[in-house]
A and B are shown apart, each in its own frame.
Chain A
C-alpha cells in the first residue's frame, strides 16, 4: 500500500562530513516526487536515508525523523532490514544479480521474505514482470541470465524485482542516466503507471524528465564545495518549472548555473 513519507529535520553525515542538513518535506502517496539539483548537493544521500541504505556506507550517520505514515523509520528498535523490505530501491546502474536467471532475479526478494509455493512464486513473477512492462519481451526466456538483457531491459528487470515484494514506496536514483533515449522513454511510461500503486521518489539530473514524470518537484542546492546540501523548495512540478518562489530555483531551471 502506498504510504505518505513525512521527513523532519533530517541531517546526514559521512564520518565528520555533513552531506545534507535539516531537510523537512512531505512526499505524497500515489504520486511521483522528483529531486533535482546540481551534482553533489546530496540528492542520492537524501534518497538513501529514506530506506536506511545511507548507514550501510562506512561512517554513514543520520539525525532526524522519517515517518512512513505513522511509523518512524529511525525509531530505536526498528530493523533497517525490514525497512528496506517496505521501501524498495532502483539504482543508477542496472544491477540484476549476475548469477541468477530472469525468474530468480524477480523472485529473489520473495525468497528472502519466507517460503513460497512454486505456483505462487510464478504468479508473482509474472505479475511483476507485467507490471514492469517486461513480460512480453522475456516470457520465453525466464531461465536465461538477467545479465544477458539490454541495459533498458535490465533496469525494468530491477524494477520488477523491486515491486515483486509489494513495497509501500519505490525510490529511484537516476534510473535512466545509463540508458538510451528509447529505454528512457519506456521507463518514464512505466513510472507513470506505477504511481497508481506506489509512492515514487525519483532523483534525476534531467529537468525535462522531472517535468515529464513528476507531480511534485524538490530542488536541492548547496552553498559551496564542502558545504551541506539543503532543500531549497518543494512544490507542484508545474509551479517549480513555471513560477518558482525562490530565485535560486529559477536560476537553476533556466540553466543559469549548475
Chain B
C-alpha cells in the first residue's frame, strides 16, 4: 500500500480522520506481524516434525539387514531387523486403485443424478443422506466390512473365479474373503460419499449459460451433461477423486479390521494376504519396540511421499489444459 499518496486526496481531512487512519495502520501492522509470525512458527514446527521423523526413519533403515524397498518381510522384534515395504506399497496402491475404479464412476453418476436429473423433492434427501454417510467413523465401516461384507462377498468371488479365474488376477481359492479386493470395495464405499459431495457441488456450479448453450443447439439432457457439465466439472472431479484417494491411501482401522495380512504379494487379488502402510502401522505399533516403531515411521514416510506424488500428478493434470478451463470465459 502506498499510503503516502492518500493525504493529497483528503488533505482537507479533519484531525479525527487522521488518527482513525493511523490506528488502522497500526492494526495492519499488528495483523501483518501476527500472520507472518504464526506462518513462520508453523513452518518451523512442521520442519521440526519432519526432521524428527526422517531422523528416526534413517536410524531404522540403517539397521535394516534386508532391502528396505524390495524385501517381502517385516520382522523388527529381534536383532538383526529385516523389513521392507514392497508388500505394503503394492497393497496400498492396488487397493486404492480398486477403490477409485469402483467409486469414482458411481460417485460421478450419483452426483449428476442429484444435480441434473432428480426432481428437487428427491435430490435434497438423497444429497443429505450422502453427506451423512461421509461423517460415519471409519471403524464403523470396518466392523460392517468384517461382519457383513466379508461373508457376503464369497459367492461373488466364487462367481468371478468361475468366469475370470483364468486371468490369475481374479482367481479365488475359497475361504474368508479378507483380501485386497475386499479392502478395495470397502474403501470404495468409504470414499463414495465425499467424492459424490464434492462432485455434486462442482456440477451445481456449472454456469447456466454453458448449459443453455448446449440446450439451444438441441442437446438432450445427457448431451448437455457431456458437452457442458462434465467438461466444466473435470478439474473438480479430479480434485474430488484426489480427496477420496488421499483417504483410501491412508485409511487405517477399516483396512486393519477387514484384511487378513501377510508379507507376500498374491497374484490373485481375491485371495487373502498382502497389507497396506496404514494397516501395517496400526497392526504393529502397539507391540513394537523402539526399533520397530522407527521402522514403522520409515514406512509412514514412504506413504507420505506416495501421497505427495499422487497430489502433484493431479495438479499437473488439472494445470495441463488450463487454457481450456471453464473459468476463462
A93 located at the interface, meaning its Cβ lies under 8 Å from any Cβ of chain B in the complex: yes
Flag if B220 contacts A81 (CB, 8 Å): yes
A158 located at the interface, meaning its Cβ lies under 8 Å from any Cβ of chain B in the complex: yes
Flag if A98 contacts B209 (CB, 8 Å): no
Interface 9-residue window, one of B157-165, B224-232, B244-252, B283-291 = B224-232
- The residues of A that contact B231 with a CB separation of less than 8 Å are 97-100
Residue in B120, B216, B232 whose beta carbon sits within 8 Å of that of A51 in the complex: B216
Min CB–CB distance B276 → chain A (angstroms): 36
Flag if A112 contacts B232 (CB, 8 Å): no
Residue in A91, A94, A112 whose beta carbon sits within 8 Å of that of B223 in the complex: A112
Report the nearest B residue to A146, measured CB to CB. Answer: B329
Flag if B217 contacts A98 (CB, 8 Å): no
- The residues of A that contact B329 with a CB separation of less than 8 Å are 94-96, 98, 147, 154
Interface 9-residue window, one of A27-35, A82-90, A242-250 = A82-90
Contacts A98-B232, A98-B328, A99-B234 hold; do A84 and B212 have CB atoms under 8 A apart?
no
- The residues of B that contact A82 with a CB separation of less than 8 Å are 218
Report the nearest A residue to B119, measured CB to CB. Answer: A58
A113 located at the interface, meaning its Cβ lies under 8 Å from any Cβ of chain B in the complex: yes
Query: Which size bracket describes the interface of B in this complex?
Result: 20 to 34
Contacts A97-B228, A99-B232 hold; do A109 and B217 have CB atoms under 8 A apart?
yes
Flag if A98 contacts B326 (CB, 8 Å): yes
Q: Which of A159-181 contact B (CB under 8 A)?
A: 161-162, 165
A148 located at the interface, meaning its Cβ lies under 8 Å from any Cβ of chain B in the complex: yes
Flag if A95 contacts B328 (CB, 8 Å): no
B153 located at the interface, meaning its Cβ lies under 8 Å from any Cβ of chain A in the complex: no
Provide a sorted-by-A list of 28 A–B residue pairs whose CB atoms are within 8 angstroms. Answer: A53-B212, A56-B212, A84-B217, A85-B217, A88-B217, A89-B216, A91-B213, A91-B216, A95-B209, A97-B213, A97-B227, A97-B231, A98-B324, A98-B325, A98-B326, A99-B234, A99-B326, A108-B217, A109-B217, A112-B217, A112-B219, A147-B324, A147-B329, A158-B213, A161-B217, A162-B216, A165-B217, A165-B218
